[in-house]
Amino acid sequence: MRWLWLVGVVGLGITGLVLNWKVAKQQESPVAMAMVEMEDGTLVPVDSQPSTGPVMAPASPESIAPDGSDEDWLTRFVLIERSGEPVSSFDLRGQPYVAGFFFTTCPSVCVRQNGRMKELQTEFAGQPVRFLSISCDPEIDTPEVLRQYAARFDADPQQWLFLTGKMDYIRRVGAEFFWLPVERRGHPERFALVDAAGQLFALYEWNDESQWNALRKDLQRMIAAGGTLPRESASVTMSPRAVAGDAAEGETESAVDGAAVE
């Protein structure tokens, strides 16, 4: 019987050794768990992190207004062309462009202004530049009205765009994007030159011969340089203060021309 007792003792010893070996292996190879890297570079189990409340998803592209209307100061815009299609400031990038504000019922000043724009279209036909005439009387100047008006000037639909939108928004586009104070049926007699990168380059009085020629010269230089120039190289000095009172002046001139002013 002693030999049976010895077998039992040996068996219990072997079982203990096996159990000890399994425990040791488990300690050497802990169960894998999710880890997160802290600001100091250390890894911490997810469960040990303090709760900071629900995780907020980043803003989706759909929540960002493509026309910039969600911005405190506009850096982009979207308006409706006479074709009925939207045109954005991003669409215009890649080529410089000249922009001005007008309204179709103005019988004198706006006609002369768009006559100047037509001169630019003739001079720069076939070259990588666009021209924008933006209405500041959008309730009247629908895309259909703009199509009829553009036909008076033989405006190339690919190069010379006529744009409209909502007045409150157009007011912001004028003041914030182009540095031109605009009101309903009131606008400065100035053109804005924007480079191919979408940056405002300079402002020019189209009814002043020296500034008119400066615009033509700067536009030629810009095209030759590939679409951009250093702003300090402009032939005129651009200052928002210089145009601060032009909106009221535009309204007065429109009234003299016989257009209704509100």
pLDDT tens track for 38-84? 555 555 554 444 444 444 444 444 446 788 888 999 999 999 999 99
Residue 26, pLDDT score:
47
What's the gap between Cα 139 and its chain centre?
A: 25
188 within a domain of the structure (yes/no): yes
Domain count along the chain? 1
Question: What percent of the chain shows pLDDT beyond 90?
Answer: 63
Residue 257, pLDDT score:
37
Residues with Cβ < 8 Å from 59, sequence gap 6 or more? none
- How far apart are the C-alpha atoms of 241 and 132, rounded to whole Å? 23
For the beta sheet containing 130-135, the strands, ordered from the edge strand earlier in sequence to the opposite edge, are: 86-88, 78-81, 160-164, 130-135, 97-102, 190-194, 200-205
| Torsion, CA 239, CA 242, CA 247, CA 249, rounded to 10 | -160
Provide the terminal-to-terminal Cα distance of the chain, rounded to the nearest Å: 121
Residue 215, pLDDT score:
98
Residue 64, pLDDT score:
62
- How far apart are the C-alpha atoms of 54 and 149, rounded to whole Å? 56
- How far apart are the C-alpha atoms of 171 and 176, rounded to whole Å? 8
Query: Strand, coil or helix: what is 40?
Result: coil
Higher-pLDDT residue of 188, 258: 188
- CATH classification at residue 152: 3.40.30.10
Residue 69, pLDDT score:
82
- Give the type of residue at 197: A
- How confident is the model over 27-41, as a mean pLDDT? 49
Beta bridge partners of 186: 183
pTM for the whole structure: 0.70
CB atoms within 10 A of CB 172: 19
13 within a domain of the structure (yes/no): no
136 within a domain of the structure (yes/no): yes
- Name which of 210, 182, 177, 206 is nearest 194 in CA terms: 177
Q: 23-27, 116-120, 142-146, 171-175: lowest mean pLDDT where?
A: 23-27
- Name which of 29, 181, 187, 223 is nearest 114 in CA terms: 187
21 within a domain of the structure (yes/no): no
What is the pLDDT confidence band of residue 255, given thresholds at 50, 70 and 90? very low
Question: What percent of the chain shows pLDDT beyond 70?
Answer: 66
The pLDDT tens digits of the residues spanning 205-238 come to 999 999 999 999 999 999 999 999 999 999 998 6
Would you call 225 exposed, middle or buried from its count of C-beta atoms within 10 A (0-12, 13-18, 19+)?
Answer: middle
- Name which of 228, 254, 233, 248 is nearest 93 in CA terms: 228
- How confident is the model over 131-139, as a mean pLDDT? 98
Q: What is the extent of the structural domain holding 126? A: 66-257
70 within a domain of the structure (yes/no): yes
- How confident is the model over 171-188, as a mean pLDDT? 96
The pLDDT tens digits of the residues spanning 136-159 come to 999 999 999 999 999 999 999 999
Residue 153: how many CA atoms within 13 Å on its side-chain side? 27
pLDDT at residue 250 greater than cutoff 60: no
The pLDDT tens digits of the residues spanning 227-236 come to 999 999 999 9
152 within a domain of the structure (yes/no): yes
- How confident is the model over 169-190, as a mean pLDDT? 97
26 within a domain of the structure (yes/no): no
Which token pair is 209?
């011969």
